[in-house]
């Protein structure tokens, strides 16, 4: 060898002042990192888990993506803001040391590899898309607390038995119908779903996805083999007042309500508001009014204590103040945790519509917009969540979810369970949506405890 003895690479030192200074900086930052890791480690052993400051930091950062002057967040599915949110999330996942990817439905995925990649994985997650003028929590909280849980496990050098995947599902909130990402994963998307889905402004999902450089047909490839997923856990805000009123921190969800939505049209005859005598009218709106009054009776006779019915939208045609409405189209949203009850309610609604149409000289037709089956959470997963809540010493209750969630769709693939945190005054889908930091921390801690029970048991 020319020029003397060759030293091992680590001993070949450059001793210029610049190099020494640079090494000093590296050493400093190295020891700084070690010290910080030890400190975080100590904190974690002491507090056994999640750091609320990191969760709140992430929440605040993501809240700025799609935030408007009215204080609301506008991150509707596949909007420019939603896509920026996905990019941000993927970056944060990478920084947490997770392996990131997107599937054909543009679901964002961060994976913590386990000892046995063949074992059915544990899936956790929710969604980061929002309704227009949303608050900053909703599904976003589930995704970001999930991120914190995996970050903590990674930092502690914990290797799970199976892979753990964090997933943020596309279009849960329904710009294009809702639950698009979870339905794709569950194999419930058909070419027709993709072709016919459009937002309220008439923009087609197919066009919007293509405009973003995505191939909408790839969503058909997002389907997972049920054998590859052992369970799904989702943390979400309650979106109702039960936990908050009872001053409880965590809800252990045992069942998720089913729901169906119909679009109903009464057709009569548009006529002059002054010249058409009351007895000679076929007023479509009066059909809606009669039906609205029948709703409480229908629920009393055919529903359960958990039944809910809402007429959320009414549109009158021609919609002019001095014309008798010739057509009234309205929606009804019915919920219950028992599918038999849902069927009975559907039958009773049909009868009431038919009787009203006869009485008022109207015709009616309805279209089933959706039928989502109620879901019973898996007993073993619920037990793990409850044990984690008990161990943390949190005030919790077992309860149902009155809102639909991705978990409901994923239940067709694997066992599921959900963790709720309180919504202050039950407010949701509004900038007023809030959960106390303590309760967010409690929920995240319960999620971590449940993950440890499910992903780290004896192999
Ligand atoms: Zn949600």
- pLDDT (tens digit, 9 = 90+) per residue, 329-338? 999 999 999 9
Say if CB 262 and CB 367 are below 8 A apart.
Answer: yes
Q: Tell me: domain 258-372, CATH 3.40.50.2300, correct?
A: no
Q: How far is the CA of 255 from the centre of ligand 1 (A)?
A: 16
Where, residue-wise, is CATH 3.40.630.10 in the chain? 51-257+374-455
Ligand 1 centroid to residue 403 C-alpha, Å: 8
Residue 267, both tokens? 């057709």
The alpha carbon of 431 and the centre of ligand 1 are apart by a number of angstroms equal to: 14
Distance (angstroms) between ligand 1 centre and the Cα of 233 equals 14
How far does the centroid of ligand 1 lie from the alpha carbon of residue 396, in Å?
A: 20
Task: Give 371 Cα–ligand 1 centroid separation in angstroms.
Answer: 18
Answer with the residue of higher pLDDT: 198 or 44.
198
Distance 59 CA to ligand 1 centre (A): 15
Query: How many A from CA of 128 to the centre of ligand 1?
Result: 8
Q: How far is the CA of 239 from the centre of ligand 1 (A)?
A: 9
393 pLDDT higher than 70: yes
Average pLDDT over residues 40-48: 47
Distance between terminal CA atoms of the chain?
Answer: 52
| DSSP code, position 345 | H
Closest CA to 341 of 349, 332, 329, 351: 349
CA of 221 to the centre of ligand 1 (A): 24
153 CA to middle of ligand 1, Å?
A: 25
How far apart are the CA of 139 and the centre of ligand 1, in A? Answer: 4
Determine the pLDDT at residue 32: 52
Q: Is the pLDDT of residue 294 over 50?
A: yes
Distance 269 CA to ligand 1 centre (A): 41
Residue 420's DSSP bridge partners are 236, 251
> CA dist 443 to 141, 168, 352, Å?
10, 18, 43
332, 264 Cβ separation under 8 angstroms: yes
pLDDT at position 48 is 60
What does the pLDDT read at residue 90? 98
Q: For 58-62, what is the mean pLDDT? A: 98
- What's the gap in Å between 274 CA and the centre of ligand 1? 47
Distance CA(459)–CA(457), nearest Å, equals 6
| Residue that has been written with the tokens 């993709």 in this structure | 194
Q: With 80 as the cut, is the pLDDT of residue 272 above it?
A: yes
- Two structure tokens written together for 399: 């309860």
Rounded distance between C-alpha atoms, residue 75 and residue 282, angstroms:
43
% helix, strand, coil for the chain, step of 5:
45, 20, 35
Give the mean pLDDT of 225-240.
97
Query: How many A from CA of 232 to the centre of ligand 1?
Result: 15
The rounded Å distance from CA 126 to ligand 1 centre is 7
Residue 401 Cα to ligand 1 midpoint, Å, equals: 11
Question: pLDDT confidence of 27, banded at 50, 70, 90?
Answer: very low
Q: What percent of the chain has pLDDT over 90?
A: 86
Kindly give the distance from the C-alpha atom of residue 235 to the centroid of ligand 1, in angstroms, as a whole number.
Answer: 10
How far does the centroid of ligand 1 lie from the alpha carbon of residue 172, in Å?
Answer: 7
Range scoring the smallest mean pLDDT among 21-35, 229-243, 273-287: 21-35
Does the structure show a pLDDT above 80 at 405? yes
Contact partners, residue 324, CB within 8 Å, separation at least 6: 268, 269, 270, 271, 272, 273, 276, 281, 282, 283
Predicted confidence (pLDDT) per residue in 110-157, tens digit: 999 999 999 999 999 999 999 999 999 999 999 999 999 999 999 999
Model confidence at 173, pLDDT cuts 50, 70, 90, reads very high
For residues 197 and 178, what is the distance between their CA atoms, to the nearest angstrom? 10
- What is the pLDDT averaged over residues 212-216? 97
**Residue 270: CA count within 13 A, CB half-sphere:** 12
Where, residue-wise, is CATH 3.30.70.360 in the chain?
258-372
- pLDDT category at 24 given cuts 50, 70, 90 is very low
Reported confidence tier of residue 221, pLDDT bands at 50, 70, 90: very high
Ligand 1 centroid from CA 405, angstroms? 6
* Superfamily of domain covering 51-257+374-455: Zn peptidases (3.40.630.10)
Q: Which pLDDT does position 49 carry in this prediction?
A: 87
Task: Tell me, in angstroms, the distance from the centre of ligand 1 to residue 253's CA.
Answer: 15
Q: Please give the Cα distance from 330 to 318 (Å, whole number).
A: 14
Is the pTM above the cut of 0.85? no
Taking residues 43-58, what's their average pLDDT?
A: 78
CA distance 364 to 349: 12
């Amino acid at each position: 060898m020319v020029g003397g003895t060759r030293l091992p690479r680590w001993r070949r030192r450059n001793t210029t002042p610049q190099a020494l200074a640079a090494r000093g900086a590296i050493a400093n930052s190295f020891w700084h990192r070690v010290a910080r890791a030890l400190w975080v480690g100590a904190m974690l052993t002491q507090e056994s888990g999640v750091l609320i400051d990191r969760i709140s930091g992430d929440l605040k950062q993501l809240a700025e993506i799609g935030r408007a002057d009215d204080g609301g967040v506008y991150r509707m599915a596949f909007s420019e803001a939603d896509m920026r949110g996905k990019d941000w999330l993927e970056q944060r996942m990478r920084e947490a040391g997770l392996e990131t990817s997107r599937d054909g439905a543009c679901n964002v995925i961060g994976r913590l590899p386990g000892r046995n990649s063949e074992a059915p994985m544990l899936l956790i997650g929710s969604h980061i898309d929002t309704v227009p003028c949303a608050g900053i929590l909703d599904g976003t909280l589930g995704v970001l607390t999930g991120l914190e849980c995996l970050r903590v496990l990674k930092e502690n050098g914990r290797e799970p038995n199976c892979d753990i995947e964090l997933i943020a599902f596309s279009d849960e909130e329904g710009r294009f119908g809702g639950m698009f990402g979870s339905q794709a994963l569950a194999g419930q998307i058909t070419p027709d779903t993709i072709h016919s889905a459009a937002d309220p402004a008439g923009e087609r999902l197919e066009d919007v996805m293509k405009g973003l450089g995505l191939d909408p047909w790839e969503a058909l490839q997002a389907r997972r083999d049920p054998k590859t997923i052992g369970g799904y856990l989702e943390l979400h805000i309650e979106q109702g007042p039960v936990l908050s009123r009872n001053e409880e921190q965590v809800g252990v969800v045992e069942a998720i309500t089913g729901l169906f939505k119909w679009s109903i049209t009464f057709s009569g005859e548009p006529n002059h508001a002054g010249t058409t005598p009351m007895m000679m009218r076929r007023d479509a709106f009066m059909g809606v009014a009669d039906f609205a009054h029948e709703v409480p009776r229908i629920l009393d006779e055919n529903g359960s204590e958990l039944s809910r019915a809402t007429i959320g939208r009414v549109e009158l045609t021609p919609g002019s103040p001095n014309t008798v409405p010739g057509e009234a189209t309205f929606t009804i949203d019915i919920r219950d945790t028992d599918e038999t009850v849902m069927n009975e309610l559907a039958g009773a609604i049909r009868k009431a519509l038919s009787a009203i149409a006869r009485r008022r000289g109207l015709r009616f037709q309805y279209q089933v917009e959706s039928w989502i089956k109620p879901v019973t959470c898996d007993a073993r997963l619920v037990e793990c969540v409850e044990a984690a809540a008990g161990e943390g010493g949190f005030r919790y209750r077992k309860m149902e979810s009155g809102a639909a969630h991705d978990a409901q769709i994923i239940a067709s693939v694997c066992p599921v369970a959900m963790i709720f945190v309180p919504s202050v005054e039950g407010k949701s889908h509004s900038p007023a949506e809030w959960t106390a930091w303590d309760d967010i921390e409690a929920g995240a801690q319960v999620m971590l405890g449940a993950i440890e029970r499910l992903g780290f048991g004896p192999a």
